[in-house]
Amino acid sequence: MSETTAGTAAAAGGAGPARTAAVIGTGTIGLGWIALFAAAGMAVRVNSRRPDAERHVRAALGRYAATLPGGPRDPEELAERLRFEPDVARVVEGADIVQENAPEDLALKRDLFARAGAAAGPRTLLLSSTSTLLPDDLGSAMDDPSRLLVAHPFNPPHIVPLVEVVAGERTDPAAVDDAVAFYRGLGKTPTVLRRPVPGFVANRLQSALLRESIHLVREGVVSVAELDEIVTASIGPRWAAVGPFRAFHLGGGPGGLRHWFQHLGVGLERSWAGLGEPPVDEATVGTVIAQADEAFGAHSYERLAADRDTVQNAVIAAVARARATGPGAAGPDTAGPDAIGPGAAGPGATED
């Protein structure tokens, strides 16, 4: 199917006119974007340094198509929307958006954006999936980096809603608005960071939890399997419903976060001081890997990823249904300020 035909077909399906996306890089993140863009009816141009890029991408579509949001898709139908182009200048020419997913090498990415920026149109969004690099550094070799932004997804990008949008000093505010609108149109949850920070937000939070997880396993408090079970049976489901601040607000009972800080906040600094700072040395890594092999190493990557994606889709869909039909969907609270529903914490609550 040609790019024009793909756009016409998507428009006829009621999704609006399809756009053309250029995806640079076919690692795990790039593959997820390719699947999502194609499923949205976009014409997708793929640029990869892999000599077997077409075979590699088609094989991935066979796996990703089964767990796309909204239900399984025909991988052959998705593949018809792809075009493979080894030249960076040609792959971005005339594209509406460029989603870069090259390795985390600043010199490599800087060169890619310099070439892409020179060949792309003046309205093309230049988006990087980087998880570590800042937009001003990525665009330092560009004549005009005003359309360059970081658009960092959370893995796997075809399922997890978050996209962290990060602008640089020379980014045009209109490009930020365009990027937010683009990702919202794909069903994502784009969140614009108020200022650039290394590692952005979601990965910094994940890193903090990972550090303490490694510490607890290293100290023999729990095993890798037990720690995973603790997270998925406690804070995992909680965070699918509410974020940390709202969770502790509810933990304070009717007095909310103010009450919680008054009663438990005084001990926070002491508890933080007791958190671990494990070395990532050979012994620590060996312990974690050995226990991970025992817990889930017998299963293939494809099996583990498929299980994860199936469950994540179910959780996201269940939360969306609950929010659409639950008590909060009816409007503001009708109960008095002192009302406590089933399971709510009372005035002296000290919920974790």
Give the C-alpha separation, 121 to 143, whole Å. 13
3 state DSSP class of 162: strand
Q: Please give the pLDDT value at position 332.
A: 54
Q: Please give the pLDDT value at position 16.
A: 37
3 state DSSP class of 319: helix
Domains of the chain: 3-192 (3.40.50.720), 202-330 (1.10.1040.10)
Q: Please give the pLDDT value at position 331.
A: 56
Token pair for residue 271? 């508890």
End-to-end CA distance of the chain: 54
Low-confidence stretches of the chain (pLDDT < 70) are 1-18, 329-352
Q: At what angle do helices 202-218 and 224-232 cross, to 10 degrees?
A: 140
3 state DSSP class of 59: helix
Q: Please give the pLDDT value at position 98.
A: 98
Distance, C-alpha 9 to centroid of its chain: 28
- Rounded to two decimals, the pTM is 0.86
Task: Give, in degrees to the nearest 5, the angle at Cα 75 between 72 and 77.
Answer: 105
155 Ramachandran zone, left/alpha/beta (phi>0; psi -120 to 50): beta
3 state DSSP class of 189: strand
Q: Please give the pLDDT value at position 266.
A: 80
Tell me, what DSSP letter sits at residue 93?
A: T
Question: Which is it for strands 148-153 and 162-166: parallel, antiparallel or unpaired?
Answer: antiparallel
- Cis amide leading into 173 (omega within 30): no
Give the C-alpha separation, 93 to 29, whole Å. 22
> How far is CA 192 from each of CA 29, 216, 233, 306, rounded to the nearest angstrom?
20, 33, 30, 30
H helix or E strand, kind and range, residue 152: strand 148-153
Give the C-alpha separation, 217 to 226, whole Å. 9
